[in-house]
Amino acid sequence: MSSFWRDRPVMVTGGTGLLGGWLIRRLVEAGADVVGLIRDWVPQSILLRSGLMDRVKAVRGDITDYRLVERTLGEYEIDTVFHLAAQTIVGVANRNPISTFETNIGGSWTLLEACRRSPKVRQIVLASSDKAYGDHGDATYDERTPLAGRHPYDVSKSCADLIAQAYAKTYGLPVVVTRCGNLYGGGDLNWNRIVPGTIRSVLRGQRPVIRSDGQHVRDYFYVEDGVTAYLLAAERLAADPRVRGEAFNFSNDSPVTVLDLTRRILSAMGSGAEPLIRNEANGEIRYQCLNSKKARRELAWRPRFTLEEGLHASIEWYRNFLAGGAETDRATPRNPEVDLRILSGSLSSL
């Protein structure tokens, strides 16, 4: 990794989540001075289970607590912020929209306003989502596609995305927005998601459950590729002020149906189980496909992991986790020179 992160004060919100744990690990490895804003104590998360917490300055509290966020930014002289804290489960958002709106929307404006009043903050990367686009039929989404969420989770991401753009445009706040496909990988403990849920079912000799009819289409995006995307976005923001206020899609640009993904996992695990299709999903977008050409062109970014490689790494992680073993090392891609090209040297070499 480049020397950009060495000794840099960085705050990560949502550190006990899937992406947060992997991102903090990469930042710690790069020598960053990491502060984690943590609401819930999750012993099985990567952050706690791997021992990373011993190398992170932990601040306990809620992202909607303005005074806490402003104090943290000021007292730790934070330079770069990764805002990942969110309620991320669509079904939970449909059942409990208020808590989702408070965290995803209120938490975002709280964080951005605190950053606006903290002169040391120079880079902010805010996590939006492909769900922020809403439903556009079978169209592929690029960054010019309108943000048109209609269901609670989608609306929360559309709002947070637009608020970030407003702070960049109105106040010149140094923020970029990331819109990723469906992140997956070892460390995701939300078992009602299709990847961890299917893997756990197979390992326990049960039939995997598909809540929908299995024909919903999604981009599935491996978490380590997501980490690289976030780091690269922050580095480019530091080097080029013109990136301020921009949004970037990140995905493999290879959408598959939920049923196809489930069958790929079953095949990779050598299982002959037949998925149980419940067809109970409501308020979920039918077709989502991202176009990541902008990130590939302007950030010189591209994914390192194919879907098969990401699923293999995830299966091994959960196999070890559910057997009670220590955390496994992260996967090694088949083309590691790409990772070295992206994350070594200065941005000017990209």
For residue 348, which amino acid is it?
A: S
Distances (CA, A) of 68 to 47, 59, 283: 21, 9, 34
Cβ atoms of 194 and 261 closer than 8 Å: yes
Angle, CA 24 vertex, CA 19 and CA 30 arms, to 5°: 130
- CA gap 109, 156 in Å, rounded: 12
Identify the residue whose tokens are 């080097």.
239
- CA gap 195, 326 in Å, rounded: 21
Cβ atoms of 347 and 236 closer than 8 Å: yes
| Two tokens, residue 242 | 């013109």
Does residue 230 have an active-site annotation?
no
Helix (H, G, I), strand (E, B) or coil at 218: strand
Task: Return the sign of the alpha-carbon dihedral for residues 13, 16, 19, 24.
Answer: positive
- CA gap 150, 104 in Å, rounded: 15
The catalytic residue among 66, 76, 141, 153 is 153
Angle, CA 227 vertex, CA 109 and CA 218 arms, to 5°: 85
Please classify residue 279 by burial: count the beta carbons closer than 10 Å to its beta carbon, then call 0-12 exposed, 13-18 middle and 19+ buried: exposed
Angle, CA 309 vertex, CA 154 and CA 90 arms, to 5°: 15
Which distant-in-sequence residues (6+ apart) come within 8 Å of 244 by Cβ?
Answer: 168, 172, 173, 174, 175, 176, 237
Catalytic (active-site) positions: 153
